[in-house]
Amino acid sequence: MCLGIPGKVVEIHDDGPLRMARVDFGGVRKEACLAYLPEVVLGDYVIVHVGFAISQLDEEEAMKTLEILRAIDAEGVALELGSLPDETAAPSAPPASAPPASGASA
Amino acid sequence: MKYIDEYRDAPLARKLLDEIHRITTRPWALMEVCGGQTHTLVKQGIDEALPAGVRMIHGPGCPVCVTPLEQIDKALAIAARPDVIFTSYGDMLRVPGSTTDLLSLKARGADVRIVYSPLDAVRVAAANPDRQVVFFAIGFETTAPANAMAVRQAARLGLTNFTVLVSHVLVPPAMCAILESPTCQVQAFLAAGHVCAVMGWTEYEPIAERYHVPIVVTGFEPLDLLEGILMAIRQLESGRAVVENQYARAVKREGNLQAQETVFRVFDIGDRKWRGIGMIPASGYHLRPEFARFDAEARFDVGTITTAEHPACIAGQILQGTKTPLDCTAYGVLCSPQKPLGAPMVSSEGVCSAYHAAGRGLAPARAVPLYELARPLEGAPK
Amino acid sequence: MSEIRPTADPFAPAEAAPAAPPDPANLVCPAPIPERARVLLGHGSGGQLSAALMRDVIGPALAAAAPGGPLNDAAVVEVAGRRLAFTTDSFVVSPLEFPGGDIGELAVNGTVNDLAMMGAQPLALSLAYVIEEGLPIEDLRRVTESVAKAAGRAGVRIVTGDTKVVGRGAADGLFVNTAGIGLVAPAVSVGADRAAVGDAVILSGPIGLHGIAIMSVREGLDFEVEVVSDTQPLNALVAAIVAVCPDVHVLRDPTRGGLASALNEIAAASGVGIELREETIPIPGPVHAACEMLGLDPLHVANEGKLVAIVPASVAGAVLAAMRAVPEGADAVEIGRVVADHRSMVTMRTIVGSQRIVDMLVGEQLPRIC
């Protein structure tokens, strides 16, 4: 469900009480409602679903995920094994700030 | 496309797959909840490339598929009225009700319009004050903020001709219902990334703990799914059962609080029937009493709706993950995307349509007649 | 979805259904014709429904009057020792003007291309209008000027025509029909059934442009995109191909239904399989993005200025070079091969290395949220 795709906010305006944006998805521009992301500014990337921006894309996390994937060494020992922190064992505790290497993070 | 194409990198995909193979020592059964995830898994052949013994059970994560037949039939009854402009997301147009579907109604002259955003439906209402405009508000939690905002916007504009036909369903109760089932084989979940972008993942922590199942919040691109599966299997292999977040670039633990606030301002939680599964308590959203004037079910008397599923359709078992389309006698024979018997064959995210599009279990010659009349053509139809 | 309901009037509230649902194996029904017996929009979209309508309704009804044989873009008839290609097409696009062209240009190029896909050089076109009452005269003039310009570019003449006017609501502004004739050179024998195992599958350029350009201005969707329709005449490109390879096996322009539908039709007509390599298929960034946004498959999106050529592998290099020397073929690329496996089906290698089936478009392409 939930076709949501990332795009860049290239223009912001108001439609009455609703804050709206023009979002650029790799060359396609469409309007999206920013009501749910009041802190978003020009140049930010957002995930848009049915004309609403529902989440701001965390570009640092995006890079981190890709770096971690690239670092997986399928031949030998994965970076991750042996470095799983104990903090993630308690489900009710907030995830540790140092992410367990496979990309799980706060 | 930035933040999409990077997650489709073929060498990285194969690397992840190799790593999954390397660490898997035992059979495991995982369930991906979201239809979009099912679609990617099947289309990319990822589920078939996993180690033998690792099974992806496809969950009921297609809101189109689980919209109760009663709601579809109500939608059809409303859309058939000449004073109504019926607006809907494109997905719903081909879903079969008991007797017909929205696309066929449109062919017969009903004013059925596809909208991309619920705000577009509100605009149609504002532009057509002499017609009744109804919007089919389906979806999981991901779509609820948008649907809620449409209601608020209609209220702000003082529209009296706009109503919504609500059929929202929620993921955590469905997961629990599956886990509670005596035939449940699911050992780990890939949670729906965009549902969690809105709702966060705090609701899943008690589920992981109570049922001792790993839950990994996962995205939708091939690399996301592979990484999510890898993380889940790592937990399974080491006996851990916690919530982890693969989709870190889009999901935070608390989710989108603004969106949640608006959702709860407009909707409250109630029981919902899931097509093919049955009633799951507290598993859906209904309009709050203060927004009752926007409820299409109150505005339109659709009479008694008695529904009838096609007898050959095993959508229920497919949606619960206890059977696959390959177990269905109608699959590919009586039931195909052109002539669907049930919702999972219609929705592009439904399991059956994903399998059919991938050609799984279909005879190579694909001898299914694609266009069947109810009776022969000779002589004028009476 | 059940076929027969005695109470099947969808405009009345649903009444109590019969106690037992009908047995699908026992289809006897006294009721009015159910929905499945009406033409749907999807029947015009060039995919499986269109093929089925042709095969199960129109074909059989015409059988006595039609020559039969594979469905090609144009018919070839023998006239006094020459082979004449003959085709017709109707254009019902809305809006009449769209980024990159209008219905007039489309109507000329579409028929010119159908002739070219038989390896014929187009000679003359007819032009028929069905005009909706109320259409601004300026619009009619502009469209007709487009027709003239497109005909000039393609090197064809409009030699006959007709004009009808219908009441408001009976035509979507303007419906255009063009029919065309052309001559097929003696050595050329193109046909959908001629693809042979081992042949190379060549695509003349990037796909998805026309369909996305149209969708971007469609009611209800409305997005800005830097793509314009790729409508253009392909007869010069075909002449270049035929010059180096008179024995080109198949030529097809993937219009409605997209590249996937065209290749499926060829695979079925020739009784072969086709294997594509995903990374070779050129999809412009904005087309890719628009498809992501709407949940569409670029392989199903319509094109109006592209062709697929299926040629013996030994001449693939020469054909590519000849195509690239002509503007309409500047981005020509080999995208796959004809194989003996999975006959009548088209497959593509996925990023994890498995083969996925590339299906025909089912009905109308609907955007989705899920």
Residue C108 has pLDDT above 60, yes or no: yes
Asked if residue A103 belongs to a domain, the reply is no
Residue C20 has pLDDT above 60, yes or no: no
pLDDT at C240: 96
Asked if residue A64 belongs to a domain, the reply is yes
Q: Which residues contact C157 (CB under 8 A, 6 or more apart)?
A: C123, C124, C125, C151
Q: How confident is the model at residue C95 (pLDDT cuts 50, 70, 90)?
A: confident
One domain for residues A19 and A40: yes
Residue C14 has pLDDT above 90, yes or no: no
One domain for residues A63 and A23: no
| Distance of alpha carbon B157 from alpha carbon C283, whole angstroms | 42
The predicted-structure confidence for C184-198, as pLDDT tens digits, reads as follows 988 899 999 999 999
Residue C149 has pLDDT above 50, yes or no: yes
Which token pair is B227? Answer: 């990484």
Instruction: Calculate helix-pair angle for B257-266, B144-156, nearest 10 degrees.
Output: 60
pLDDT at C366: 67
Which token pair is C99? Answer: 């980024």
Q: How confident is the model at residue C166 (pLDDT cuts 50, 70, 90)?
A: very high
Q: How confident is the model at residue A106 (pLDDT cuts 50, 70, 90)?
A: very low
Assign residue B248 the CATH number of its domain. Answer: 3.40.50.11740
Provide the domain limits for residue A77.
59-89
Assign residue A11 the CATH number of its domain. Answer: 2.30.30.140
- What is the edge-to-edge ordering of all strands in the sheet holding B162-169? B112-114, B84-88, B132-139, B162-169, B278-287, B267-274
Asked if residue A99 belongs to a domain, the reply is no
Residues of C in contact with A50 (CB under 8 A): 369
pLDDT at C118: 92
One domain for residues A25 and A63: no
Asked if residue A36 belongs to a domain, the reply is yes
Highest average pLDDT, of B287-296, C2-11, C281-290, comes from B287-296
Residue C38 has pLDDT above 80, yes or no: no
Q: If you write DSSP's letter for every residue of C295-328 in order, what string do you get?
A: T--GGGS--SS--EEEE-GGGHHHHHHHHHTSGG
One domain for residues A34 and A63: no
- Domains of chain B: total: 1
Residues of A in contact with C286 (CB under 8 A): 26-28
Least confident of A19-28, B151-160, B228-237, C45-54: C45-54
Q: Judge contact between B331 and C42, C-beta under 8 A.
A: no
Asked if residue A48 belongs to a domain, the reply is yes
Asked if residue B128 belongs to a domain, the reply is yes
CB C10 to CB B1 under 8 A? no
A29 exposure class (CB count in 10 Å sphere: 0-12, 13-18, 19+): buried
Average pLDDT over residues A25-47: 93
Mean residue pLDDT of chain C comes to 84
Q: What is the ipTM of this complex?
A: 0.86
Of chain C, the percentage scoring pLDDT greater than 90 comes to 57
One domain for residues A30 and A17: yes
Asked if residue B168 belongs to a domain, the reply is yes
| Distance of alpha carbon B367 from alpha carbon B216, whole angstroms | 41
One domain for residues A47 and A64: no
Q: Which residues pair with C160 in a beta bridge?
A: C126
pLDDT at A101: 39
pLDDT at C94: 77
Asked if residue B212 belongs to a domain, the reply is yes
Residue C12 has pLDDT above 50, yes or no: no
Residue C138 has pLDDT above 90, yes or no: yes
Which token pair is C255? Answer: 């219009």
State how far Cα C164 lies from the chain centre: 26
pLDDT at B314: 84
Q: Judge contact between C286 and C362, C-beta under 8 A.
A: no
Asked if residue A40 belongs to a domain, the reply is yes
Asked if residue B317 belongs to a domain, the reply is no
Which token pair is C204? Answer: 């003349």
More confident residue, C14 or C115: C115
Least confident of B131-140, C2-11, C197-206: C2-11
- Among residues B241, B294, B243, B244, the alpha carbon closest in space to that of B265 is found at B294
Provide the domain limits for residue B173.
1-308
* Low-confidence spans in chain B with pLDDT less than 70: 348-349, 363-382
Residues of C in contact with B365 (CB under 8 A): 344
User: Percent helix, strand, coil in chain B (nearest 5)?
Assistant: 45, 20, 40
Determine which of C224, C227, C352 to mutate to test the interface with A (most A C-beta atoms within 10 Å): C224
List of domains in chain C: 72-184 (3.30.1330.10), 192-357 (3.90.650.10)
Asked if residue B366 belongs to a domain, the reply is no
Least confident of A69-83, B135-149, C88-102, C304-318: A69-83
- Which H helix or E strand runs over A26? none
Asked if residue A18 belongs to a domain, the reply is yes
Residues of A in contact with C223 (CB under 8 A): 28-30
pLDDT at B380: 36
Of chain C, the percentage scoring pLDDT greater than 70 comes to 84
One domain for residues A30 and A67: no
Asked if residue B335 belongs to a domain, the reply is no
| Chain A nearest C-alpha distance from B379 (Å) | 45
- Among residues B353, B148, B167, the alpha carbon closest in space to that of B262 is found at B148
Size of interface A-C (CB pairs under 8 A): 45
- Domains of chain A: total: 2
Bridging pattern class, strands B267-274 and B278-287: antiparallel
- Among residues C64, C110, C103, C65, the alpha carbon closest in space to that of C87 is found at C110
Q: For B235, left (φ over 0), alpha (ψ -120 to 50), or beta?
A: alpha
Q: What does the longest C-alpha to C-alpha distance in chain B come to?
A: 69
